Structures are given as structure tokens and as C-alpha cells.
A and B are shown apart, each in its own frame.
Chain A
Amino acid sequence: MEDWLYVGLYALIAVILATVPLLVAWILRPKKPGRVKQSTYECGLETIGDAWIQFRVQYYVFALIFVIFDLEVVFLFPWAVAYRQLGLFALVEMFIFIGLLVVGLLYAWRKGALEWV
């Protein structure tokens, strides 16, 4: 419990440590905004179109596979910790599980889902 209190305190102090430089800089820095200065940067050219568009996330399929494998890892962590007590049976069992996911990965690979298009 005390450990998690420490982590909480650490998070608080980390946020403070990241904010204090911003505040100090806010006091020290010059403030001379201008129209041109505040325009969107695009290599010196006039901006064409907005950046807030419906972006086509090309790696959507990757993200789906990521979720599957991330969940797999959630199962792998406790398995790995308890592995010494569980022995060979646990190994076989876990590899049937991983094997199923690998088949899925191979299927995605064959289907061309792992190609960057």
C-alpha cells in the first residue's frame, strides 16, 4: 500500500516538475505575438486546407492485431511468474494458446494485412 502511495506521490511531483519550467519560462520569456508568427507552419508557404480532417489511419488492422497480442501478454505475465511451480504441463498448455494466436498472425500475414498500404 505504501508503495502505491509512493507511486502516486511520484506522479504528482512529476507533473509539478514538468509544469514549473513552463511557469518560469512564462515569466521570463518575451511576449510579442503577431499574425504571421502565429500562423500554421508549412515550410513558409500559405497553408492549404485544414489539418483537422478525417484521417485515414492506415494501421487500423495493425492496431486490431495489437489488441489481440496485448491481451495475450496479460495472460502470459502471470503464467511466466508461476512457471516454475507449474512445469511442463503449463508450457504445453500455453503453447497451444500461443499457437492459436500465431495461426491468426500467419493468416493475417497471408491475407496481406501486414503490408503497409
Chain B
Amino acid sequence: MIQAVVELSHQIQAFLDNLIPLIVALLGDLLAAFLPSWAVTLILMVLGIVTLSTIVLVGFMYTTLAERKVVGRIQDRLGPNRVGPFGLLQPIADMIKMFTKEDITPRGADRLTFNLAPVVVAAAALLIFAAIPVGRGLIGADLSVGLLYILAVSSVSVIGILMAGWGSRNKYALLGAMRAGAQLVSYEIPMVLAAIGPLLLAGTMSMNGIVEAQGVVWFILLQPLGFLIFFIAGVSEANRTPFDLPEAESEIVAGYHVEYSGMKFGLFQMAEFISTIGISAIAATLFLGGWQGPLLPGYVWFTAKTVLLVFVFLWLRGTLPRLRVDQLMGFAWKALVPLALLNILITGLTMVVHPIWAVLVGSLVALVLAGTTIHLYAEAVRRRTRPRFA
């Protein structure tokens, strides 16, 4: 009896998993009837890309609403609830506002750089999703160097931010852009070093391969320290609180996008939220098992894990105060980089001893060591409360 139920649930899961590839195959057959094969491939690719991007964009719109709702609840408010039921039409109202706002270009600005910057930032944020496996057998491009590609693309947006900061010819914008540069330079290293852990365990750089390697146990159990470092660095990479120094409202007004208005400002917002979703998706793929999970189809699991991590982002925004610049840099270089190196060492050593059990024990040791280090570091910082200016 139980066996029959398990068998049935497996079949339902497989059916739901195969649904989208099936539709794509059917569409391909239909098109192949009156088009050459290269055109069919091209059309299917474009359709896939547009669908994926649309889902991401809708995700972005509702992340803005979710952020206002979650932060509202944390601050004992209701958040937007006037436009549509539960404020569900709020993102659409916001979109209409963005489209119809006047767009001001400051007189002194470098027009080309100023206008190109939002496009660069937004496009770079979208590109992450080209190589992320969103479901069983559902991946845009299963590149053999997928992880390398994603890490490379996720740091391109800082070029757009620097363009915005310089092109605006505004002091706040310049300061914000320079801070963004400092942040990327510091947090890229711990992020990439933390990604080495799953890479060691999976033995492949293909994103699909990394997910398949997590069939038995999710890498967050074997790499808890790696996950923490990756996530902290990811929050910094997406310029979210407590690492939102490039756009600190209370000191440099809005940082690099202070001179932007209308849809260009909207594109910067879009880029920020899409990279939030992107970082969550990467972390879910590398550490939380991506689309792996029982009963439900892969894309549901993947979406659920990503949404969970996005919620953590919003939670952090509502809970933590912003760091100071010197604390930010010090934390990256003095705490995260050594810990990430330690994580690689422990993972490598325990993998030589025995695949799973040793790695589990090693991961716990790493976590304890990390907790001690961060505690000691925080104590040292607290003792020296005043920043050291030369």
C-alpha cells in the first residue's frame, strides 16, 4: 500500500517535472513542420529567454511589494494595502508612475555615460539567470563553466554603477560609486572562495551538475560556513542593507543614483531587486540543493528556496543597521577571507579522509571556529569604537 502511494507520488512528480520540456518539444515539432531546423532552435531559445525574463521581472515587481510589506510588519505598520486586494496591484501603480514621471538629466552630466549606465546595470543583473537551473532539466544554458560565468556576470553591474556615479557629475553620486567599487573589491573574494566548497564536493562547474550532486545531502549541511560567507558576501554584492553604503539615504542621499529620475531610476531599482533574486537563486542552487526535493516538481522547490532566501534579505533590511566603511572593509579582509580559506582547507582535508561523515564533522568544526573568530573580531572592533582617520 505504502509502496503504491510512493510510486504514485513519484510518477506525479516526474509528470509535472516533464511538463515544460514536453510543451517545448511539442512546440518544436509544430514549428519544424514549416521552418528549417536552425530557425526552430532560434525561436525556441528566444521564447525561453523571454519567458524566463518575464518571470524574473514579475518576481522583481512583487519583491518590491513584499519588501514594503515585510519591512512594514517589522516596523509595526501594515505596508501598502490600498491598491487592489492586500495592495497586490501596488507594483503596477508604481510602474505607471515610473513611466509617466519626468526624466531630468543634469546640465553638467556626461550624457552618454549617464544614459547608458541604467541599461548596463539592469542587463547585467538579468544575465545571471541564463545559467541557473530552475527545475529538473530546465536550464537556459548548462555551461561547463556555469559557476564561473555566473560569478563573472554578477560583478559586471558595478561597472554600470561607476558609470552612473561618474556620469552624474554629482559629489554624492561619485562617493556612492566609489563605495560600490570598494565593496565589490572586498566582497568578491570571500564570495568566490566560499563557492569553492560546493565545487570541491561536486567536482564540476556546471550548475546542473552541482545540483545533481546534492541528491543525497544538500551542501548547506556540509558547508554551513561556506553558505554563511557566501550569503553575507552576496548581500554586499547586491548592495542591500546592512551593506547598502553605495546608496546610503541618510548620508549620501541616494548615492550613485541620486541624479536619476523616472524610468532610469526604475531601472536601478529593478537591477537591485533582480540581483537580490539572482544572489538568492545562486545560493539556493549551490547550497540548498536547487531543484532537488521530494514530492513537488523541481521548479516549485527551486522557487520556494529562492523566495525563502529573498525573505531573509528583506528581514535583514528590517533588522540590521548599516555598517561603517572601515568596518565593512575590515570585516571582509580580516574575518571573511581567512575564514573562507579555512573552509577550503577543512573541506579538502576531510574529503581526503572520507566523503560524507568526515565532511559533516569538519563542517561543524569550521562553524565553531568561525563563530569564535567573528566573536573575537567583533569584540576587537567594539573596543576601538572611534574610526581611525589619517
A95 → chain B closest CB, angstroms: 7
Q: Choose among B45, B53, B192 the residue that contacts A14 (Cβ–Cβ < 8 A).
A: B53
Chain B residues 193-211 with CB under 8 Å of chain A are: 193, 196, 199-200, 203-205
Interface residues on A, range: 35 or more
Whether A25 lies near B99 (C-beta < 8 A) is yes
A70 → chain B closest CB, angstroms: 7
Cβ-based interface call for B141 (8 A): yes
Chain B interface SS verdict (over half) = helix
Whether B106 lies near A40 (C-beta < 8 A) is yes
Whether B348 lies near A83 (C-beta < 8 A) is yes
* Per-residue A-contact encoding for B77-100, CB less than 8 Å = 1, 0 else: 000000000000000000000111
Whether B388 lies near A115 (C-beta < 8 A) is yes
Whether B168 lies near A116 (C-beta < 8 A) is no
Whether A50 lies near B263 (C-beta < 8 A) is no
Residues of B within 8 A of A81 (CB): 199, 203-205
* Per-residue B-contact encoding for A49-70, CB less than 8 Å = 1, 0 else: 0111001011100110110011
Question: Which 5 pairs from chain A and chain B are nearest by CB?
Answer: A116-B326, A25-B263, A3-B141, A18-B122, A117-B390
23 CB-based A-B contacts, threshold 8 Å? A6-B45, A9-B45, A9-B46, A10-B140, A21-B266, A25-B266, A29-B101, A29-B263, A30-B100, A38-B105, A40-B107, A51-B168, A57-B181, A62-B182, A62-B329, A62-B333, A63-B181, A66-B189, A70-B188, A83-B200, A83-B203, A88-B352, A114-B333
| Interfacial residues, chain B to chain A (CB-CB below 8 A) | 41-42, 45-46, 49-50, 53, 57, 98-108, 115, 118-119, 122-124, 126-127, 129-131, 140-143, 147-149, 166, 168-174, 178, 181-182, 185-186, 188-189, 192-193, 196, 199-200, 203-205, 253, 258-259, 262-264, 266-267, 325-326, 329-330, 333-334, 337-338, 341, 344-345, 348-349, 351-352, 387-390
